[in-house]
Amino acid sequence: MRKTWKITTLVCFIMTLIILGVGVVFLYSDYQLYRFFKSIDKGEWTETKEYYDNLTPSQQQTANAHMEGYAQELCREYANGERTYQEVTASFDAINSLDNTEELYNRRITEINYNELKGAVEALYKANTTFDTDGAVKAKNRIDDVQKRMDTATKEKLLIQMLNDKYQDYLDCKIDRNKIDAFIAVVSNMTYYEAHNYAVVISTNVACVENYRGIYNQYQTMLTEQKFFDILDTYDTVYAGIDPADTVYRGRFQELYQTTFYDGMDYYQTKLDNLIAASDGEAAVALMKEIEARYGTAFDLDAAKNQLAAEWQKTYLQIAMNYEAILQTEFSKTSEGTYIFENEYQRLRPDSMLLYDIDKNGVAELFLFNSKEATEENTECFAFTYADGSYVYLGYVNILSFCTDSNIIALPSEFGRDFAEEHVLLRFTGNSLEQKKYTKKDGETYIVDNAEVTDAEFLTAQTSIVDHANNQRPSIMDYVDISDYESYILAY
C-alpha cells in the first residue's frame, strides 16, 4: 500500500512539473509578443525590429495577423485624444521598420493626416459661419500645423478627398447648401492649384444639384395643380441630369414620376370621359393625341375611340390602316385597276389623305393620294365613300376641282394622253361617280359628250361644267399625312 502511494505521489509530482513547464513555454511565448507590441507602443523602432527578428516564424505570423487591428487601435486612440500626433507617428515609424509594412504605414498615416486636416478645415468653416474670430484663428493655426507634416501632392490629394466626402454628405442631405458652400470657400482659399480647381468643379456640381432639387419642388407644386403633362414632358431630361451619387433625390424623383404617371392616367381618363359625354369630339380627339404622346400603349384608348367614332369613321380607320391591301383588292376587280396596279401604282402610292363631304350629307368621302405627284392644276386620287354599312370604292379620279353642288370636275381617267383640252363633270350619286358632261377641244373641232358641236355649244357646255367650281382640290386643301389618320378621322 505504501509503495503504491509513493508511486502515485511521484506521478503527480512529475505531471505537475510537466504542466508548469508547458505553462512557462506559453507564458514566455506571450511575453515575447507582448514585448514586441510594447516596443511599438513606445515608438522604439530599433527595439521593435530586434524583438520581431527574435520571434519564431509562428510568432511572427501571429504578430503579422494582429498588425492591422493594432494599427486601427492606434488610429482610434489618436482620434479620441488618447495619443498625440508625435506618439502615434512614432508608433507607426516603429511598424514601418519592419519588412512589408509600407502599405499599412502609408494608409494609416494618410488616414490620420486626413482626419486631422479635415477636422481643422471643418473647424475653420464652422468658425467662419458662426463669426467666431478666435475659433477661426485657432483653426487656421491647426491647419498650418497639419500641413507641415505633408508634401504638396499629399495635401492636394487629401483636400480633394475631403471635398468629395463633404459633397457626398451634401448629396445625402446631411448638410445643407450653406454648409457645403462654406466648406468649398475654405478649401478654395488654401491656394493649392489642383484643390482650388476641384473646389470650383464641386461648386458647379452643387449649383446643378440645387437646380434639379428646385425643379423637384416645382414638380410637387405642379402635382397639386394636376399639371401631369407638363411634368411628363420634362421629366426624362431633368432625371438624366441628376448626379448618379445623389441616391436620395434619384429615389424622390422616381417616386414622384410614379405618382405623376398613375394619378395622371386617372385624371385624364375622367377628363376624356367628360368630353365624350359632352359630345365634344374635337377636344376629345385633341386630348387623346396628347395622351398617346406621353403614355403610348400604357393608356388604353380603344373604348374612348369606339365611343367617339361614327360607323363611317370606324370604316375609314380600317381603310387607312390597310389601304394598300384594300386598294390591291379593288384594283383586281377591273381591267383599269389592273393596269393602274401594274403600271401606275408605284408613282401614285398614297402618302396623304383628305376627308371631304361632296354631297354635304354629314358623311365625308375619303381621298388617298400621293402629294409629290400632285400639280397646281390637278390631284390624282383613289376615292372612297361609305354607304349601307361598308365602304364603297369610287375609283381613280384625277380631280381639277370640287364643286359647290355634288359634282367634281376632273380629267378623263385614262393614262398616256394630253388632257389639256378635256374636262369631265362627275356627279356623285351617294355610292358612285357618274359622268354627267364631257367636253373636248381638238384644234377647231369641238366635242360635247362624244358628239361634235359648234364652238358656241361647246362654250355653253364648258360653262355648265365650271359654273359651280369652287377651285378646291385635295392637294391644296387641309390634307394630312396618311400616318396621322387616326386623330384626323376621329376629329372630323
Written as one letter, the residue type at 38 is K
- 8 A C-beta contact, residue 350 and residue 369: yes
State the pLDDT at residue 417. Answer: 58
- When mean pLDDT is compared over 126-130, 159-163, 389-393, the highest value belongs to 389-393
The pTM is what? Answer: 0.59
Tens-place pLDDT, residues 333-386: 999 999 999 999 999 999 999 999 999 999 999 999 999 999 888 999 999 999
279 pLDDT more than 80: yes
Tens-place pLDDT, residues 146-183: 777 777 787 788 888 889 999 999 999 999 998 899 88
pLDDT, average across residues 131-158:
79
State the pLDDT at residue 118. Answer: 78
Give Cα 303 distance to the centre of its chain: 30
Tens-place pLDDT, residues 408-448: 999 887 776 555 678 889 999 999 999 998 888 887 888 88
Cell numbers placing 207: 449649383
Question: SS3 letters for the chain?
Answer: CHHHHHHHHHHHHHHHHHHHHHHHHHHHHHHHHHHHHHHHHHCCHHHHHHHHHHCCHHHHHHHHHHHHHHHHHHHHHHHCCCCCHHHHHHHHHHHHCCCCCHHHHHHHHHHHHHHHHHHHHHHHHHHHHCCCHHHHHHHHHHHHHHHCCCCHHHHHHHHHHHHHHHHHHHHCCCCCHHHHHHHHHHHHCCCCHHHHHHHHHHHHHHHHHHHHHHHHHHHHHHHHCCCHHHHHHHHHHHHHCCCCCCHHHHHHHHHHHHHHHHHHHHHHHHHHHHHHHCCCHHHHHHHHHHHHHHHHHHCCCHHHHHHHCCHHHHHHHHHHHCHHHHHHHHHCCCHHHHHHHHHHHHHHCCCEEEEECCCCCCCCEEEEECCCCCCCCCEEEEEEEEECCEEEEEEEEEEEEEECCCEEEEECCCCCCCCCCEEEEEEECCCCEEEEEEEEEECCEEEECCEEECHHHHHHHHHHHHCCECCCCHHHCCCEEHHHHHHHHHHC
State the pLDDT at residue 418. Answer: 58
pLDDT band, residue 9 (cuts 50/70/90): very low
The conformational region for residue 257 under phi > 0 = left, psi -120 to 50 = alpha, else beta, is alpha
What is the overall mean pLDDT for the chain? 85
